[in-house]
Amino acid sequence: MLNRSRIIVSPLVFQKRTIAGQIGKLVSRLLKLRYLVVGAGVGGSYTISKKYDEFKDSLSKLTFEDYVPTDRINETFQLIKEYAASVGESGKSGSGFFSGFEKKPPIPNEHEDVKGPSSAFVSDTNDDLQKPVKQKPKQISVEELQEALLKNELAFHKRIEALLQENRELRSELLLKSQKSLQKGRINKSLIDMYSEVLDELSDLDSAYNAQDQLPRVVVVGDQSSGKTSVLEMIAQARIFPRGGGEMMTRSPVKVTLSEGPYHVASFKDGSREYDLTKESELASLRKEIEMRMKALVSGGKTVSTDVISLNVKGPGLQRMVLVDLPGIISTVTTGMQSGTRETIQDVARQYMSNPNAIILCVQDGSIDAERSNVTDLVSSVDPSGKRTIFVLTKVDLAESNLHSPDRIRQILEGKLFPMKALGYFAVVTGKGTKDESIDSIKEYEENFFRHSRLFKEGTLRMSQTTTANLSKAVSERFWKMVKDSVEQQADTYRAIRYNLETEWKNLFPHLREMDREELFEKARNNILDDLISLNGISSTVWEKNIHYELWNKLKDYIFTKIIEPSQHIDDIGTFQTNVDIWLRDWVENNLPKASIETGLQTLYSQLDSKLKTMQDVPGYDPVFDPLKEAVHQEIRKRHHWDPKAESRLRVIQSNALDDHTVHTKSQWTAAVDLLEQAVKARLKDVNQSITSSFGPGWVEQWTRWRKRTAEQDARLQTAQEIENLLISLPKPSAHINQDDLTTIRRNLQARNVPVTDKIILDNLRMH
């Protein structure tokens, strides 16, 4: 019976054990869920409390009540506190709910392991969770939260800078790779370079026709020494402008085109040299060149000039835009300045700012009183609504060190202090004011200042309003927006002007066929080639005659003054021949070949000029190509050079001719005698004219033409008479006199009250 009853009861026991096992598994899962809920709630609140305690100990206090919603933050933390308390209570009630299962007697035999894990899990969980629930979380202040936000923002800013630097390096590598793969003859110009060339062309047209285009550009204006040039250098990331230490250095507008490139270089529009901006020696050369160009533009007593200096700057990471740096606004014309300099500077600034598509970068010195500003009134008069103006406050570090009121700086950056409006307001620091600071050191100094600045911590400045990097990005974005909005409009305007001009041309000249640019160029080129080919029609006789005439006119003075006249008093034929050979040899070795080549060039140019003039008398000649022909003519003269070996070859030919003393034919001898006779007669005529001009008119001319000698002419005449008397008394004629004879002549003239000098006596002696 006992065995039978056990057999009957055992299914019920097994069934109870099976149900208890399933309930135990369910309890184990619920306990795990309770652990997650309680751990997430209570542990999360405890972690938040500990984190903000760390922030409070590591960071100084900041007050951002104006920017952080304090009420919402307090409500949020109150909800977190209530939620943590409710989670703790639910944990306690949950442990009571599962306590009945823990107090059940253990299940024997093979199902005994159902109780162990679940009961241990529950007991451990209750012990661990009740401790943090009893601890109250600390109240987190608004200052600590602001410290955390600021720290995160600075960390994100550093990360962004690192990513931007990496992006610049990758773009530089891509640009280098693309430049190597470009085919020869392919145009490799960026959009900003082509846009800058368009501005240069329009600038030339504007100055020629007294007009003004309306394409966008960034106009940098500010008071003198306000730091506008330093702001431009920070945007260009190079110290490219000369420094004056308070003196006016920007004396003409400087157009700076910024574009991205693999290397940090700069070049002028009209120059081929590239300046490496990573080398201090190249930077010094660039600054010197800019200073020399400005001085050349203001020559003639001017202080400022309206002529533009165009400079292109390329480098990795540069914001693409076109900026124009204008001379600083002054309030007083100092000594040495041209009168009206102040009005001239203001007129130039108004001219550039009056462009409705120009972006005005108004730079104001933050270290001086706002009432001393001159540029703000000028900008507000041109752009009263402020739709094109970006305000930049410089030298904020000096403003803070001078204990300027933070509220006053805040009013400036909110547009409430100056009588002007702007699209945006920025605060920048462009260094400590020394000349030797590098761009990297200035950027580091600027970042450190704004990170630890009292103005920044007190909420006067926002990070988006600080640093030249943020300023450069904002200006570039606004610049390209203006370009996108206005270029199409300007293109339509020029199309309309072109259509009107074409219509006027057709009405005024209906009988002439319209020609495009290529056809006009080909026609002008053919006309120029025809003029040059006409030189082939000149016969060799004409060439020789002209060269002979020009060559003799160039050499005759040297032959008479250096060879014939010094040798005329030599009696010995051998000495005469030796001296003449020495003088001629020296002439051939030094001056004669070069003089002959210059004569040939002069003859060629004179014949070309005469041919071009005769072509103007040809029927059907069109003067429309005259400016182009003249430009080509001048360019030909610049580029044309004689063969460098021609001078040495000509020297050999002339030396051989000098060594040959034989006369081969009678005609050669006759031609030489005739040449010498004509030359001597012409020389005698010139000497007589010189004597007449020196001694004055003779007695016949005085009576017939009513002329009279001057005192100088009378003195020269009496000097000549004394020289003649001296030469007659000499036993042998000589071209030279000694010092005693010179003294005798001077004393004889002084006895007759004729004051003369030794120079006058020697000049008269040469005429004899």
Beta-carbon contacts of 65 under 8 Å, excluding residues fewer than 6 positions away, are 142, 459
CA–CA gap between residue 439 and residue 461 (Å, rounded): 23
- How many residues in the chain? 768
- Identify the pLDDT of residue 326: 92
Q: Dihedral sign for Cα 395, 401, 402, 405, please.
A: positive
Paired with 189 in beta bridges are none
- Tokens read off for 226: 């306000």
Per DSSP bridges, beta strands 218-222 and 254-260 are unpaired
pLDDT per position as a tens digit, 677-729: 888 888 888 877 777 777 777 766 767 777 777 777 777 777 777 777 777 77
- Identify the pLDDT of residue 464: 81
User: Three-state SS string across 557-626, please?
Assistant: HHHHHHHHHHHCCCCCHHHHHHHHHHHHHHHHHHCHHHHHHHHHHHHHHHHHHHHHHHHCCCCCCCHHHH
Cβ distance 490 to 213 under 8 Å? Answer: yes
Residue closest to 390 by CA, chosen among 368, 409, 352, 364: 364
- Identify the pLDDT of residue 67: 44
Helix, strand, or coil (residue 448): helix
Per DSSP bridges, beta strands 424-427 and 389-394 are parallel
Cβ distance 258 to 324 under 8 Å? Answer: no
Paired with 421 in beta bridges are none
- Tokens read off for 24: 């135990």
Q: The tokens 């000029």 sit on which residue? A: 609
Residue closest to 118 by CA, chosen among 13, 22, 39: 22
Per DSSP bridges, beta strands 309-315 and 254-260 are parallel
Paired with 324 in beta bridges are 219, 255
- Identify the pLDDT of residue 246: 58
CA–CA gap between residue 510 and residue 490 (Å, rounded): 30
- Identify the pLDDT of residue 199: 76
Helix, strand, or coil (residue 394): strand
Paired with 364 in beta bridges are 393
CA–CA gap between residue 691 and residue 376 (Å, rounded): 74
Q: The tokens 């006199």 sit on which residue? A: 737
Residue closest to 46 by CA, chosen among 74, 89, 75, 87: 87
Q: How many CB atoms are located within 10 Å of the residue 275 CB?
A: 24
Domain 192-332+340-487: give its CATH code.
Answer: 3.40.50.300
Cβ distance 359 to 478 under 8 Å? Answer: yes
708 — phi, psi (to 5°)? Answer: -140, 145
Burial of 313 (0-12, 13-18, 19+ CB in 10 A): buried
Cβ distance 330 to 345 under 8 Å? Answer: yes
- Identify the pLDDT of residue 573: 78
Long-range contacts, stretch 649-654, CB < 8 angstroms, 24+ apart: 650/593, 650/596, 650/597, 651/588, 651/589, 651/592, 651/593, 654/588, 654/592, 654/593, 654/596
- Identify the pLDDT of residue 210: 52
107 — phi, psi (to 5°)? Answer: -85, 120
657 — phi, psi (to 5°)? Answer: -65, -35
pLDDT per position as a tens digit, 42-71: 455 555 566 556 655 554 444 444 444 555
- Identify the pLDDT of residue 77: 55
Beta-carbon contacts of 697 under 8 Å, excluding residues fewer than 6 positions away, are 705, 707, 708, 709
CA–CA gap between residue 353 and residue 383 (Å, rounded): 8
Residue ranges of the chain whose pLDDT lies below 50: 1-17, 36-38, 40, 42, 59-68, 87-137, 182-187
CA–CA gap between residue 479 and residue 377 (Å, rounded): 23
Q: At how many degrees (to 10) do helices 228-236 and 468-508 cross? A: 90
User: Model-level pTM?
Assistant: 0.48
